[in-house]
């Protein structure tokens, strides 16, 4: 099988020596588990709105980070510096959020890794997924992480499929990927660096190249109203 497309120019230090370039979803397994297990019970250096909630322990919030009203941070959870967690966001299941990220209003993240500068800013679901540096999810983008039949997620690749060993796995988006509003990425989607996905695309499981445009083609039929 051909190698996976370019994804990350440089991984953050905690992950740099733990990434298998042909099985990058494994960062969501032992690498993330070990990082989260080593966190202190609580280390809150950023600003928490009085109406925000902390649930459980092993929660780290870095300097300059801000958590808005109604947001719920459920440990274990590591949030770097200068991160904005907006009103009503819900982070659970073990997450790692790099410096300068944005987790927007009513966004839900579960078992996810956001590399520095990634934005999931508006009404997104990010489940069992990895967002590279400076990834941007438009409003309403969903990274779906579970098949209806509950089967293992295997990714079409070449003439075969890549077995992941996971029943829950969303997407891996390389550095600089931009996803348009209301797009849905099916479980087991890998998108190469700097690729742009247009608004409303329903992207099937698979491996997509770097430096590409992924478009939805549709026909619009406009007819006069009947009196």
Per residue in 147-158, pLDDT (tens digit) is: 888 889 999 988
List the one residue out of 122, 106, 27, 109 whose CA is nearest residue 76: 109
The more confident residue out of 215 and 13 is 215
pLDDT digits (tens, 9 = 90+) for 35-63: 999 999 989 999 999 999 999 999 999 99
Q: What average pLDDT does this structure show over 135-153?
A: 94
pTM of this structure: 0.94
Q: What average pLDDT does this structure show over 133-159?
A: 93
Return the exposure string of 52-63: e unless at least 16 CB atoms fall within 10 Å of the residue's CB, then b: bebeeebbbbbe
Distance CA(136)–CA(148), nearest Å, equals 27
Active site residues: 122
Distance CA(220)–CA(177), nearest Å, equals 28
Task: State the average pLDDT for the chain.
Answer: 95
pLDDT at residue 227 tops 90:
no
pLDDT at residue 225 tops 70:
yes
30 three-state secondary structure:
helix
Query: Do residues 179 and 129 touch, judged by C-beta distance below 8 A?
Result: no
98 three-state secondary structure:
coil
Q: What average pLDDT does this structure show over 81-108?
A: 97
pLDDT at residue 201 tops 80:
yes
pLDDT at residue 195 tops 90:
yes
Q: What average pLDDT does this structure show over 67-86?
A: 97
pLDDT at residue 65 tops 90:
yes
Q: Which of the 8 DSSP states describes residue 167? A: S
Q: CATH: 2.60.40.1120, 3.40.190.10, 1.10.260.40, 2.160.10.10. Which one for 13-212? A: 2.160.10.10
Distance CA(185)–CA(207), nearest Å, equals 11
Distance CA(216)–CA(36), nearest Å, equals 39
Strand partners, 214: 197
Distance CA(170)–CA(162), nearest Å, equals 14
List the one residue out of 188, 185, 193 whose CA is nearest residue 210: 193
pLDDT at residue 83 in the model: 98
Distance CA(127)–CA(136), nearest Å, equals 15
Q: What are phi and psi of 118, to 5 degrees?
A: -75, 145
* CA geometry: angle 159, 160, 161, nearest 5 deg: 145
pLDDT at residue 144 in the model: 96
Query: Do residues 138 and 182 touch, judged by C-beta distance below 8 A?
Result: yes
pLDDT at residue 1 tops 70:
no
Q: What are phi and psi of 148, to 5 degrees?
A: -60, -30
């Amino acid at each position: 099988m051909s190698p996976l497309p370019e994804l990350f120019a440089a991984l953050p230090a905690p992950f740099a020596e733990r990434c298998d370039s042909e099985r990058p979803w494994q960062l969501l397994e032992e690498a993330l588990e070990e990082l989260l297990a080593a966190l202190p019970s609580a280390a809150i250096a950023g600003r928490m709105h009085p109406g925000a909630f902390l649930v459980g322990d092993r929660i780290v919030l870095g300097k300059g980070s801000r958590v808005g009203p109604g947001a719920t941070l459920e440990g274990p959870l590591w949030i770097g510096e200068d991160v904005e967690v907006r009103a009503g966001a819900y982070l659970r299941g073990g997450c790692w959020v790099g410096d300068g990220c944005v987790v927007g209003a009513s966004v839900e993240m579960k078992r996810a890794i956001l590399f520095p500068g990634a934005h999931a800013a508006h009404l997104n679901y990010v489940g069992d997924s990895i967002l590279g540096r400076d990834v941007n999810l438009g409003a309403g983008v969903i990274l779906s992480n579970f098949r209806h039949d509950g089967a293992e997620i295997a990714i079409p690749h070449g003439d075969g499929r890549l077995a992941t060993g996971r029943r829950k796995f969303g997407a891996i988006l390389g550095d600089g990927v931009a996803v348009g509003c209301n797009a849905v990425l099916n479980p087991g989607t890998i998108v190469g660096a700097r690729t742009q996905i247009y608004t409303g695309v329903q992207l099937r499981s698979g491996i997509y190249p770097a430096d590409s445009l992924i478009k939805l083609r549709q026909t619009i039929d406009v007819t006069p109203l009947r009196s």
